[in-house]
Amino acid sequence: MKLDKEALRKDALQTTRMLKGKTVYVVRRHRNEEVCIQFTDGTTLFVDQTPNGLDFSITQDKYPPRKESKKGMT
């Protein structure tokens, strides 16, 4: 299903509003076709490659991520 330019614009605007002002905690690559961006407040943005383009999904965890220990981090 192809979206028209107006639908793509609206989707991008809605995503921007949902993520504006958030601080990135970590970026992960679970699969070749997926990027996962987790924010400090527990919000997670998934960007997936599909046959029709990109697909965004946003989730909100009840508990924000724990801060990782600095021991052993290089």
| Amino acid of residue 72 | G
pLDDT in single tens digits along all 74 residues of the chain: 556 889 889 999 999 999 999 999 999 998 899 999 999 999 999 999 999 888 999 999 887 777 654 554 44
Strands 53-60 and 43-50: antiparallel
34-55 burial, b for 16+ CB within 10 Å, e for fewer?
eebbbbeeebbbbeeeeeeeee
Residue among 20, 21, 15, 65 at smallest CA distance from 41: 65
pTM, rounded to two decimals: 0.76
